[in-house]
């Protein structure tokens, strides 16, 4: 069995303002750094991260001595015209209201659509699993984004939930387990432990 810890990056200034920060490559804010250093995280044999600064910094704080492997596909969604803005700043934008009315199913104007984003995240997760199996690892951590984690959990978790129900706070996440043999046989399911 392979245990994987899915951890959302620490808080950024944009997070504190409720902004849609996908491709915006900002670092952690002081509060985010403090919150991460106060918590205890599980040990892992492999550390995989999104290429964005906030994830790399989070992994550096939690797993100081371990080498990180960057997985490009684990990056957050490109929010396009909504990037680096919050709902108040977008309140008068008719495209934003259309997106809200669609319950988030419409593509982001000038950005990624949900299906492309989710498929990209799953491709990144599959790269991590394949690498762990190849290297004989029993545990790994992925430091990524809220949307990335929700995409993975929505597709593979053994518990049926709505996509947005898998949301996690900054610095938090899930502990999941998978059977490598079943995974390789294309029976892909994650047992949610925590």
pLDDT of residue 186: 81
pLDDT, tens digit, 9 for 90 and up, residues 95-105: 999 999 988 88
Cα(27)–Cα(135) distance, rounded to whole angstroms?
31
How many domains is the chain partitioned into structurally? 1
> Above 80 in pLDDT, residue 23?
yes
> Above 90 in pLDDT, residue 185?
no
pLDDT of residue 1: 92
pLDDT top residue among 9 and 187: 9
Cα(89)–Cα(113) distance, rounded to whole angstroms?
21
Question: What range defines the domain where residue 69 resides?
Answer: 2-192
pLDDT of residue 190: 83
> Above 70 in pLDDT, residue 166?
yes
> Above 80 in pLDDT, residue 181?
yes
- In this prediction, residues 68-84 reach a mean pLDDT of 96
| pLDDT confidence bin for 194, thresholds 50/70/90 | low
CATH number where 65 lies: 3.40.50.1240
- In this prediction, residues 58-64 reach a mean pLDDT of 96
Q: Express as a percent the part of the chain with pLDDT over 70.
A: 99
For 41-45, 116-120, 181-185, which range has the lowest pLDDT when averaged over its residues? 181-185
> Above 80 in pLDDT, residue 15?
yes
pLDDT of residue 103: 84
């Amino acid at each position: 069995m392979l245990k994987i810890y899915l951890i959302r990056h620490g808080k950024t200034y944009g997070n504190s303002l409720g902004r849609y920060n996908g491709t915006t490559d900002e670092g952690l804010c002081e509060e985010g750094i403090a919150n991460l250093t106060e918590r205890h995280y599980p040990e892992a044999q492999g550390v995989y991260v999104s290429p964005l600064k906030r994830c790399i910094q989070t992994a550096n704080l939690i797993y100081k001595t371990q080498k990180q492997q960057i997985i490009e596909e684990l990056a957050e969604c490109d929010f396009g015209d909504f990037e680096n803005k919050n709902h108040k700043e977008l309140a008068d934008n008719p495209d934003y209201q259309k997106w809200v009315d669609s319950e988030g199913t419409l593509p982001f104007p000038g950005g990624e659509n949900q299906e492309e984003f989710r498929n990209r995240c799953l491709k990144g997760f599959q790269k991590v699993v394949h690498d762990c199996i190849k290297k004989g690892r029993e545990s790994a951590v992925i430091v990524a984004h809220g949307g990335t984690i929700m995409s993975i959990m929505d597709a593979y978790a053994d518990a049926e939930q709505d996509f947005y129900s898998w949301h996690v706070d900054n610095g938090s996440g899930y502990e999941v387990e998978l059977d490598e043999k079943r995974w390789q046989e294309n029976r892909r399911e994650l047992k949610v432990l925590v």
